[in-house]
Amino acid sequence: METGRILRSNPLDLTWLDVACPGIAQCTAQYPRHSPAKEKTMLIESATLKRISAPVVTAIAVIASAPAAAQDYPSKAVRMIVPYLPGGSTDIVARILSARMTESFKQQVIVDNRGGGASITGTDAVARAAPDGYTLLLGNIALGANPSLFRKLPYDAERDLSPVALVAIMPTVLVSHPSIPARSVKELIAFAKQRPGALYYGSAGNGSVNHLTMEVFRWMAGIDVVHVPYKGGAPAFTDVIGGQIPLMFPTIVMSNHHIKSGRLTPLGISSAKRSSVLPNIPTVAEAGLPGFDVNEWQMMMAPARTPAAIIDRVHAELVKAMQIPEAKERILALGAEPIGASPKDATAFLKNEMARWERVAKEAKIPLVE
């Protein structure tokens, strides 16, 4: 008679169930919902994805129960592809995670920047990679928006990629060059309405958070501003500081120093609540556009058909990395909220984002990119 302990299948009940049956096969048949093949990870699910408190418990459970194949993984270096140039928020998060995951994996986790092509080039490289866990993607909001912005993509994110974890959510901040006389959201809207088509804004490219957030702003404010896409957030931001491009929604970590030095004028935080890093700056919703709420986010992805045991192992190690105080503090300093959501929650989040941006693209009449 075999005895053992398994996690209850209710994700809101992280308790153990004692079982006794003639053998492992019989146990699996008798308790199919608790079988190791089906219950490798037990993260508490959160409808709001505001804060998930169980990742550490789950990480321990996953590592303890993972099959031998996952226990042997990785046996060589792992590539984490970032589909942007170095210096942006996604790249920074990737480097925070890769350093900590290198320590826990005892194998190098190498950040591989594949900038350009509105994140499509790097994302496609992961979609086409072998599903063995040695090529990962740290993607962002473009994963949810690009299907509604581009007439044709070389991959289908839902078909060709498997979510590993929703890593973090972070707001951006609307800034203007001091040459623009507006000092508030309402003043900027009034200024832009007097000059339709005369104001330009920079972004990291089509489908980037800078692009998407300003398009929602343009739509809700009823103004006409012109998009100038770059190959990354850093070169776009450099031109905003230099005055070549007067407007942008950069991330807080990118803009904080220049806001404090007076080189940029902060007008509003993009999220529904104020930023803990810049608490004195009102939200765009507070400052004149009620209901405005757009955030950047990062999601770890693997090629479709990557074994579940490997996805669970990567998720567990990623969550552990995010719990290290130094790493967590660095993520918080970005103005971000660490999440660490499960593959299941990440999949649901991505579906919701795809539906949201499909609706926004149609209503805001964002032109399709050929």
Asked if the model's pLDDT at residue 99 lies above 90, the reply is yes
pTM of the model: 0.78
Question: Which residue has 């140039």 as its token pair?
Answer: 85
Q: 154 vs 87, which has greater pLDDT?
A: 154
DSSP state of 88: S
Q: What is the pLDDT of residue 79?
A: 98
Instruction: Please tell me the distance from the alpha carbon of residue 259 to that of residue 228, in angstroms, as a whole number.
Output: 22
Q: HSE of 188 in the Cβ direction (CA atoms, 13 Å)?
A: 30
State the average pLDDT over residues 320-336.
Answer: 95
The one-letter amino acid at 308: A
Instruction: Please tell me the distance from the alpha carbon of residue 195 to that of residue 35, in angstroms, as a whole number.
Output: 64
State the average pLDDT over residues 62-74.
Answer: 63
**Under a CB-based contact definition with an 8 Å cutoff, are residues 317 and 299 in contact?**
no
Q: What is the pLDDT of residue 360?
A: 95
Q: What is the pLDDT of residue 186?
A: 98
Q: Is 276 left (phi over 0), alpha (psi -120 to 50) or beta?
A: alpha
Q: What is the pLDDT of residue 69?
A: 59
Asked if the model's pLDDT at residue 248 lies above 60, the reply is yes
Instruction: Please tell me the distance from the alpha carbon of residue 142 to that of residue 150, in angstroms, as a whole number.
Output: 11
Instruction: Please tell me the distance from the alpha carbon of residue 79 to that of residue 60, in angstroms, as a whole number.
Output: 24
Task: Encode pLDDT of 166-200 as tens digits.
Answer: 999 999 999 999 999 999 999 999 999 999 999 99
User: In terms of DSSP bridges, do strands 78-82 and 109-113 run parallel, antiparallel, or are they unpaired?
Assistant: parallel
Q: What is the pLDDT of residue 241?
A: 97
Instruction: Please tell me the distance from the alpha carbon of residue 297 to that of residue 143, in angstroms, as a whole number.
Output: 10
State the average pLDDT over residues 332-359.
Answer: 96
Which two structure tokens, joined as six digits, stand for 72?
């042997």
Q: What is the pLDDT of residue 229?
A: 92
Which two structure tokens, joined as six digits, stand for 74?
């990785």
The domains found in the chain, sorted by start residue, are 2-34 (no CATH), 55-169+297-363 (3.40.190.150), 173-287 (3.40.190.10)
Q: Which residues are paired to 297 by β-bridges?
A: 169
pLDDT confidence bin for 285, thresholds 50/70/90? very high
| 6-15, 83-92, 228-237, 300-309: least confident range | 6-15
- Nearest partner of 174 among 202, 136, 146, 133, judged by Cα: 202
181 Cβ contact list (under 8 Å, min separation 6): 187, 191
Mean of all residue pLDDT scores within the chain: 85
Instruction: Please tell me the distance from the alpha carbon of residue 229 to that of residue 250, in angstroms, as a whole number.
Output: 13
For the chain, percent of residues with pLDDT exceeding 90: 74
Asked if the model's pLDDT at residue 231 lies above 90, the reply is no
- Nearest partner of 211 among 281, 154, 294, judged by Cα: 294
Instruction: Please tell me the distance from the alpha carbon of residue 131 to that of residue 72, in angstroms, as a whole number.
Output: 16
Q: What is the pLDDT of residue 70?
A: 65
Q: Is 172 helix (H, G, I), strand (E, B) or coil?
A: strand
DSSP state of 369: B
CA-based torsion, 60, 166, 139, 264: positive or negative: negative
